[in-house]
Amino acid sequence: MDHKIAGIRYDYSLKGLNEVDLDTNPLKQFKLWFDEAVLAGVSEANAMLLSTVSNGRPSARIVLLKDLNETGFSFFTNYESKKGRDMEENNQVALTFFWKELERQVRIEGIVVKTSPEESSEYFAVRPRGSQIGAWVSEQSEVIPDRTFLEEKKREFEDKFEGHEVPRPPHWGGYRVIPERIEFWQGRPSRLHDRLVFEKIGENSWKVDRLSP
């Protein structure tokens, strides 16, 4: 073992988390914590780890939260990507947020569904033009020969759409994770962290339990 790595330690001591502090709706509680992360200046507070499983093998990558409403957490990507294929095969996924500056983590488990074409197009329309072009250029997760290949495809699509709005590619759109379990984690001294988890027990009902750290 590399003892330099093993010796890295950080003692969490900013805040605690008690049952009485929680909103009864975990999505509203998440919004409270998310807003605090933004106000605290957390860099890319909407960055989240998306974990998928395909053929019994887990896979994880960072994506960006782009919408939160009463039904769940939304992000957008290439439907034909590795994660898109994973979610087509297995719609059970997990999301993880970590806001180091606030010593907080949120873990979400649930079912993923595609957003409507209208919602996907609405978000695509407000993306920077370069990102819109990039959605056409990238055959996400596919092997390509080199960087030049990408640059040449980029120029091709820039020429194709010059003077016109860039339409949403049919292979690009949104997903929404509908949560079934949400855990709020607050770092505490001596690794005795606070962990409060919401489990869905009905259409609009949740039960809360405290977990051992």
Residue 95 assigned as binding residue: no
176 is catalytic: no
Residue 160 assigned as binding residue: no
The DSSP line for 51-84 is EEEETTEEEEEEEE--EE-SS-EEEEEETTSHHH
Residue 34 assigned as binding residue: no
Residue 31 assigned as binding residue: no
Place of tokens 């996400």: 140
Among 57, 129, 147, 191, the one annotated catalytic? 191
CB-neighbour burial class of residue 130 (10 A; exposed 0-12, middle 13-18, buried 19+): exposed
Residue 192 assigned as binding residue: yes
DSSP state of 115: P
Residue 175 assigned as binding residue: no
Q: Among residues 49, 19, 17, which one has the least CA distance to residue 33?
A: 17
Residue 82 assigned as binding residue: yes
As annotated, the binding site includes: 61-66, 76-77, 82-83, 105, 123, 127, 131, 140-141, 185, 191-193, 195
| Catalytic center residues | 191
As annotated, the binding site for FMN includes: 61-66, 76-77, 82-83, 105, 140-141, 185, 195
As annotated, the binding site for substrate includes: 66, 123, 127, 131, 191-193
